A and B are shown apart, each in its own frame.
Chain A
Amino acid sequence: MTDAKGARPGARPLSPHLQVWRWHLTLACSILHRATGVFLYLGAIVGATWAFSLASGPDAYGLFLVIIGSLIGKLFLFGLTFSAFYHLANGIRHLAWDMGEGFEPKVADATAAAALAFGAAATLAVWVIAALTGGL
């Protein structure tokens, strides 16, 4: 085809966006993968801050512990725990897809539910262990 007839390149059909997709589990999991990735980006900055405060001495480390031990700090860490486990499990789905496995709708739905369940269960387990070992 040449440019002589038809639409200009700028007027090509656009890919469907969020507003026109029917919500379903695999869609939600895909969005959540990206959202938890962004959250883990912040978590990596906090992780580097942990090492930096430890290298800066007891006062700086004490301040870090106060902030991370506050209610907001704990909520952040709780979200970070879920983000890590969910992103990890859903990332394994992605690795399977890259090898051509798991695209059938029923399998994709089942692994999506499994990734969510693993994220929730592992997060609860870690926070129960933290509470039992005096980490809270």
Chain B
Amino acid sequence: MSGYRTPLGRARGLGSAKHGVGHFIGQRVSAVALIFLVLWAVDSALALAHTDYENAVLWLRSPWNAILASLLIATASFHMNIGMRVIIEDYIHKPPTKAALLILNLFVAVLVTAAGVFSILKVALSGGAY
């Protein structure tokens, strides 16, 4: 059809929408935040490992714990969504399968954020299941 056109000629006008580095930067900025959030999470998991339901509720009712737990789940979901997107784009080349997996990946990340943050707020604001 346009086999005589040069690669440069074909590429002109189809180029960057100036969003090309959005995922790259987002992945690295969230990584920096996660260094601190993950270390806090490990420390928290150690504290929670030897407590029961009541103490876990009390722990999550502390504002800082609720804030950092919400930030952790939201930031981790953001980071893992981009990471899994790269894996899918690397290995899955069949367009319908790739699209389905990318959508599933996004849904999982958003659901993890919504379920995690809502649950944290419910415990923090109402004191558990009551």
Residues of A at under 8 Å CB distance from B? Answer: 1-4, 34, 37-38, 40-41, 44-45, 47-49, 51-52, 54-58, 61-62, 81, 84-85, 88, 91-92, 94-95, 98, 126, 129-130, 133-136
- With A38-B84, A48-B112, A130-B46 already in contact, the answer to whether A1 and B7 are too (CB < 8 A) is yes
Given the known A-B contacts A44-B77, A48-B112, are A55 and B128 also in contact in the complex, defined by CB atoms under 8 Å? yes
Please tell me if the beta carbons of A133 and B77 are within 8 angstroms of each other in the complex. Answer: no
- Cross-interface CB contact of B83 among A41, A56, A130, cutoff 8 Å: A41
Query: CB within 8 A of A95: which of B3, B28, B57?
Result: B28
The residue from B53, B80, B119, B122 contacting A44, defined by CB atoms under 8 A apart: B80
Complex CA distance for A88 and B35, rounded to whole angstroms: 6
Task: Assess the B49–A52 pair: CB atoms within 8 A.
Answer: no
Question: Known: A38-B87, A88-B38. Is A47-B7 also a contact (CB below 8 A)?
Answer: no
Contacts known (A4-B4, A88-B35, A98-B28); A126 close to B42, Cβ less than 8 A:
yes
Question: Which of A51, A62, A98 touches B116 (beta carbons < 8 Å)?
Answer: A51
B4 touches A58 (CB 8 A): no
- Min distance, Cβ A35 to any Cβ of chain B, angstroms: 10
B113 to chain A, nearest CB (A): 8
Task: Please classify the interface of chain B as helix (H, G, I), strand (E, B), loop, or mixed, using the class held by over half of its residues.
Answer: helix
B115 within 8 A of A: yes
Which range contains the number of B residues in contact with the other chain? 35 or more
> In the complex, which residue of chain A has the Cβ closest to the Cβ of B2?
A3
Which among B35, B39, B128 is the interface contact of A57 at CB below 8 angstroms? B128
Contacts of A98 in B (CB 8 A): 28
Q: Which of B1-45 contact A (CB under 8 A)?
A: 3-7, 28, 31-32, 34-35, 38-39, 41-42
B101 contacts partner chain A, Cβ-Cβ < 8 Å: no
B102 near A: Cβ within 8 Å? no
| Least Cβ–Cβ distance between B104 and chain A, in angstroms | 12
A48: chain B residues within 8 A (beta carbon): 73, 111-113, 115-116, 119
Report the minimal beta-carbon distance from A84 to chain B, rounded to whole angstroms. Answer: 5
